[in-house]
Each structure stands twice: as structure tokens, then as C-alpha cells.
Structure 1
């Protein structure tokens, strides 16, 4: 995608692609490609800044915006110095930044893209924005389909991995302690660093969002979380919780565990492109309801239920209710 994009948008110096959990809007992985020499330490600092600090054009804010796109200079009124992210990027020569979210609909963001130009280059113009606006939904669909890839290797993990993994970090996001065997969980996450010097993207994102919530006293219904598709086809979920205390006793706990079917179900139903009413029908099918019972629950006719099921089968590529249950509650977890 980067190579193709650079043939139609000139002077792209660096790119960064992100996958995003559409429910929590936390980044779950990222991929850089370009000519910038960015130290790994700076990449982690930028990821922490993205989820902890206030700044212009935060990806989560762009996900909620009408346009889903923003340039750094226009967002700062022409004075990019007010952006801490811009100041950090300037240390490696980046000046212009344009971000676009990868959305399939107004309320479903599956990824994002940041484009950069080095100092002395012109800002990204209307033509570049038009290209990004045109490709964003297409790339979003591709990211969404990634969730539905065959998880043939998902059952090939150690049987003693049932116990969740735990990583405790301090306020500086340094690892303070870990549970036994947590490395087995970490190495399955995108961006795992074999040297152990850098945490996977999803762990950093969840930890930073957790600390942000705690420091701002924000009342949250649920802990910050991210659902992650692993390279082996399995699905993991990460939760964050604040560990209160004085001084060095304070910390952030990130829990990593296998994603249960219930946790992944909303994501998978969205990934298949099911409408809201089709999702209602599927949930009742999974509860073992008959066509007549589903019709009564939804206040529609049995014929309408059958039409919804026909559409669901077509979108998911199955022919029966049994097959539908199979693909949703298969060994992908």
C-alpha cells in the first residue's frame, strides 16, 4: 500500500499505518515505512503520547470527527510548535503530517494512516487529501477482513496458557514486574521485540490509556481494553487497571488473556458487515431460539427473520445455523 500510495502522492518521506480496535479506539499494532531514521525509543514515546497526552489530531479524536482527516499545521492554526508530537517528530526531521482514519462507516474505524514530509517540503494539498479520502474505506475493508482470516494455527499453543499474563509498569512505563510465563503472551502480540527492550504496541496503548483515565479522574464504565489479532490467527484481549499507591508503589497493570467468544463476537459481527438487525438475529440464533421465537422477540414476522438469515448466510459464507455457530465460536480463541 505504501509503495502504491507514493506513486500518486509525491514527496512522502515516511508513513505509519495503524490497526485500531473500533470499540475502544486504541491502537493495536503499527507499521512504519519510509526514509526517516526513528529510534525505537521515540516510537514508544510517541505511542505513549498518543494515548496519554492532549494534542491536536489524536487518532481517537479524528475517529470521532466528521472528516476523519487532519493536517498538523492547520490543526494548530499555523503554529505547529504548540504540538508536542510535532516537536518530537521534528527531532528526526519530520515537519508536515497528515493523518487519515480508515473507516467503513461513521462509527467503525479499523485503522489509521499518518503521512509525513520532511522540513522544507510543501504541505499536503487537496489532491493528496482526495486520494486518501478515496482509498481509506477500501483499506478499512481490507483491515476488517483480516479479522476473518483462517485461524488454523490458533489451537497450536501450550495448554498451560490458560492463566492470564500480567505486566506491571511504573508511571514512566518501565516494566516493574511480570507474571511467570508472560513472555509467551507478549511474543504473540504484533510488534513483539525479541530483545525485550520494547513492549508491543497494544500493551503500551492500553497502559497509557489507563494512566490517562486515572490521572484525569475520568469515571469509566469499563477498563481500557484492546482486542488483538495475532500473527498465528489467534485472538487476545488486553485490559488495563490502575494500581494506586504513593511514589514507586503506583503503577499500571496490563492483563493479557485469550479473547473469549463473547468478547470477540461484536467485533466479528461488524467484520462480516452485518446490519444492526442482522446482528440481533444472530445473537438470538446463538441462544438457540427458533425462527418463531426470534420473530416474537424482535416483533417481526417469521418471513422477515428468514430474509435476515438469508442475508447473514450470504455475508458469512455459510448455509446453515449450525455452520454459523461454527464460524463464530470456532477454535479462533
Structure 2
């Protein structure tokens, strides 16, 4: 299943209880909170989605209704943007479960349609856990696998005025993430979340993206000595220590299994792991079997290859 197919299926299911005209589905890196995939249909334009990244930092409430007949939330500019884009109502549902926000689904209604009601907002709140499970199932339902020839490392430079400079290699790397992009606005849309997160945070941001060709890492960092807010974004295959925290979260790896997994990346044999963690060899093998089952691999060599170990 592709991201677009996931979005269409979730929209269809949710639409049976909360009718809507369009939707925007966003998956989040469960460790950093940065966007890692998106699907949309009859939703905001690429330029509007970029503006929303600037306007609405932070995590939204579990359920948030916006639009006609609803008390104003956030800025008046947001409501003007919605109207300009042809939307009279939006209902945002945070896909939260187990203390983690795995993504967000935004339901949209056209201008002139009835606003989302309080009853529909209540129904939306009851869907949060199911949405979270669907997003996790989308990622963890596929076996963990090494990259299959995706574009190599590339760097994209984003100026303070959001001008993007990208080499052909960088464009190819981004197109592998957004294969249906028709314009530069669509192509560069995957950058804005990490770019703005880096600007308003510690100067760095990271997202690990489950792409068709394997996991890809977007790493944004403010340029040292450059103009304020200039950002370099590295696009490269995600593996090893960079990928591990996301794999642990998406695939439900326990803390003890994670400890074993870390030593697998270090190349320790099972006996060495047992000694290092003060466990029996049988317990180490049990943890390894659980990791293989959760990640869908068939053994240690396949696991190490998938993680770049």
C-alpha cells in the first residue's frame, strides 16, 4: 500500500461517520515529531501547506475544529487562508496513542458547507487511537528492509527567504520521496517541516521517512556563518544509529530488545551480548526472535543489512 492509498482508505472509513470533502494526512517521526510522509486529496495547495508550517508550530490539541460558526482559534490569517483556499471548515485529529503522536488527519469541508459540529468533534476524538494504529500498521506492517538503490547523499540549501537551491542529484533524491510531484512547490514540500523546525528550535531537525526504496533521513541544520535562517538539508539513506530509534518506536521494540539490537549493530555475537547485558544466552536468543518477528526479517544477517550494520 502506498501513502496515497493509505490516505484514501482512511478518508473513506472516517467519511462514514464524519463526511468531508477533502483531507490531509500527515505521518510524524515518533521520536522527533517531524513530518515523515503526507497524503492529500482536494486539500490545501502546496503553498498553503508551506504557510501552515510557519503559522502553526507545536502540537495541535487532540481534536481541533476551525472555520465558520466555530470560535476563532489560532490567527485570523489562518481563517483567511482557509477561505482563500475554498474551505469553510477543518477538523484536525491528532493520531495519539501510548503517549506518542504518530500523525494527524485534517478533514476539510468546502466553503458554504455546514461546519463541523460538536458531535462530530466528539466522534473524531474517539477515532484518534484507531488512526494511530493505522499509521503504525502502515509502517510496521512491511518488513524492515535495506535500501534498494535509492539516490545517494545530497544536499539542498534553503535561503532565509525560502529560496531553494538543489542539484540534480538532490532533485532526484526528493523525487524518490515525492514521485507524484508535478511542480517544484510539490517537490520541495517535504522539506518545510524540518526546515522550520530547525529554525525555531535548536538549529537542527531530523526526520526518518519510510520510502518505497528504503528509509531516508532528512537532516536540517542552520548554516554556520551564513545569513540568519539559512538551512542545509541533507537527504540520504537512513541506517544504523540514525534509523534505530525510529525502528524501535514504529515496530514496538521493547527496551530490553533495543539493548540487544544495539549490540547487534556493534557486531557482537549472541554470547558477547549475553555477557555484556548479564543475560542468559537463551534470553538473548528469545529477544532476537522477538525482534525478527516484529520487524519481519528472517535472521541476524537480514536484520543487520536492513539497519546498515
Aligned twin of 1:211: 199
In 2, the alpha carbon distance for the partners of 1:329 and 1:81 equals: 43
SS of equivalent to 1:200: helix
- Which residue number corresponds to residue 240 of structure 2? 261
Equivalent residue for 1:97, pick from 84, 90, 96 = 90
- Structure 1 portions without partners, runs of 5+: 63-67, 214-219
Counterpart of 1:235? Answer: 215
Which structure 2 residues correspond to residues 1-333 of structure 1 after superposition, within 5 A? 1=9, 2-10=11-19, 12-34=20-42, 38-46=44-52, 48-49=53-54, 53=55, 55=56, 60-62=58-60, 69-72=62-65, 78-80=71-73, 82=75, 84-107=77-100, 109-118=101-110, 119=112, 120-125=114-119, 127-145=122-140, 148=143, 154-155=148-149, 162=152, 164-175=153-164, 177-179=165-167, 181-190=169-178, 193-213=181-201, 220=202, 223-231=204-212, 233-243=213-223, 251-318=230-297, 320-329=299-308
Cα deviation, residue 180, structure 1 = 5.3
Inter-partner Cα distance in structure 1 for 2:245 and 2:219: 17
Distance 1:317 1:148 in 2: 4
In structure 1, distance between residues paired with 2:297 and 2:195: 39
Deviation at 1:210, TM superposition (A): 2.2
- Please, which moves more after superposition, 22-31 or 125-134? 125-134
Query: How many angstroms apart in 2 are the aligned matches of 1:234 and 1:319?
Result: 17
**Alpha-carbon distance in 2 for matches of 1:180, 1:316:** 34
For 1:106 and 1:98, the matched residues in 2 are separated by: 21
Please report how far the alpha carbon of residue 183 of structure 1 lies from its aligned counterpart in structure 2 after TM superposition.
2.0
8 Å Cα contact 1:272/1:315 also seen in 2: yes
- Residue in 2 that maps onto 1:217: none
Please report how far the alpha carbon of residue 328 of structure 1 lies from its aligned counterpart in structure 2 after TM superposition. 3.5
CA–CA distance in 2 between the matches of 1:9 and 1:72? 13
Task: Tell me if the contact between 1:19 and 1:143 (Cα under 8 Å) persists in the aligned partners.
Answer: no
CA contact 2:28–2:34 (8 Å) conserved in 1: yes
- TM-score under structure 2 normalisation? 0.79
User: What stretches of structure 2 of length at least 5 have no aligned partner?
Assistant: 1-8
CA distance in 2, matches of 1:73, 1:314: 42
Cα deviation for residue 178 of structure 1 reads 3.0
How many Å apart are 1:280 and its aligned residue?
0.8
Distance 1:180 1:274, change over 3 A: same
Q: What TM-score, normalized to structure 1? A: 0.74
What is the CA-CA distance between 1:173 and the residue it aligns to?
1.1
Question: Matches of 1:253 and 1:263 in 2, distance apart?
Answer: 18
Cα deviation 1:237-280 (Å, max 9, x = unaligned): 12222236787x86222222222333222222333321111111
CA contact (8 A) 1:104 1:141 kept: no
Q: How many residues align?
A: 295
